[in-house]
Amino acid sequence: MDTDRTEADSDQSTGRARRPRRLLPLDLLRGFLIGSAELVPGVSGGTVALVTGVYDELIDSAAHVGGAGRKLVTGGDGGRAQASRAELARTDWWLVLPVLLGMVTAVVTIAGVMSAFVADSPEHARGLFFGLVAVSIVVPLRMLPPAHRARALDAGLVIVAAVAAYLLIGLAAGGGSAEAPLYVVFLAASVAVCALVVPGVSGSFLLLAVGMYTTTLGAVEDRDLLYLAVFGAGAVLGLGSFVQVLRYLLNSHRRTTLLVMSGLMIGSLRALWPWQSTSGGGGEAEGPGQLVAPYAPVLGPVLLALLGAAVVGILVLVQIRADRKAAESSQD
């Protein structure tokens, strides 16, 4: 689904090409796919945005929105309001709004199904998510720029990040709470939403790792407005601040950032081992449990892990094919 700007016409007020209106239904579909991916721990909305050809445009637009908020506080040429309006005018709203609408539609319609699956079949759910995350590690590794340093340093970064993630998740074992204080909800949302803009990293998985996944999906299904308002506020703050940091890190320290990202994903698999024991007898709401040897059911989680791996593998292959087509087009 390559973004076609050949029919874009010029916006005289901003000097920026306007997005063709005929792409509106396609952008709604892209948003629905991104939102659906974010509901599944292990599938990255950023990866889907990358595969469907709108990742760079969404990151740039999010950066402009964050810049507008910053200039409203700090000021700029012509005053705070004018500087803020200038940043907002550079945002591609004909892309952002349809994608957001598609994402919200996906969350509202699918949240209940995913919440029931995780709560009622934890071993099967973790098996599926394990396969999804394991293969998703390929995504940031494929984005690595050429190396200009010793390979041992790269390996060391991955190992340190993986061990750190493994230990942190281990500390959270059995510590999750379905009745998390609102300030914890705010902080969790501000961190989890950051994964939305990082290919290969799943925001839903971060919520699953701290025991807040089914709680959050339940709040969506039950229309818990207070919970959703606090979660939304944390998400806005986290996204607005992290996009700027992410752009800097990916532009100035791209290889290091992607290697650390890969290591964190490897260590995070600790929370998705299908067979775990928890103090209360199981359930995602208690957070990750102690790892144990496989117990019944075994075949179901294994098959779902293979299915999850295949799904992400297909996405990666589609991305590789799209990259090759783009490279061939640039050479013509």
What is the tens place of the pLDDT at every residue in 199-244?
Answer: 656 677 778 767 788 788 888 888 889 999 999 898 888 877 777 7
Mean pLDDT throughout 291-302?
A: 92
Q: Residue 3 falls within a domain, yes or no?
A: no
Q: Residue 98 falls within a domain, yes or no?
A: yes
Q: Residue 300 falls within a domain, yes or no?
A: yes
Q: Residue 321 falls within a domain, yes or no?
A: yes
Mean pLDDT throughout 124-144?
A: 84
Q: Residue 8 falls within a domain, yes or no?
A: no
SS3 assignment, position 201: coil
Cβ(24)–Cβ(202) below 8 Å:
no
- Which residue range(s) make up the domain with 67? 21-325
Which tops the pLDDT comparison, 83 or 99? 99
User: What predicted TM-score, i.e. pTM, was given to this entire model?
Assistant: 0.66
Task: Please report the pLDDT score of residue 6 as a whole number.
Answer: 39
Which tops the pLDDT comparison, 280 or 268? 268
- Mean pLDDT check: name the lowest of 13-17, 193-197, 244-248, 295-299: 13-17
Say how many domains are in the chain. 1
pLDDT over threshold 70, residue 18: no
Beta strands in 21-158 (DSSP E): none
pLDDT over threshold 80, residue 263: yes
Token pair for residue 214? 């089914």
pLDDT over threshold 80, residue 179: no
Q: Residue 14 falls within a domain, yes or no?
A: no
Which tops the pLDDT comparison, 76 or 159? 159
Cβ(46)–Cβ(24) below 8 Å:
no
Q: What number of H helices and E strands is found in the chain?
A: 14, 2
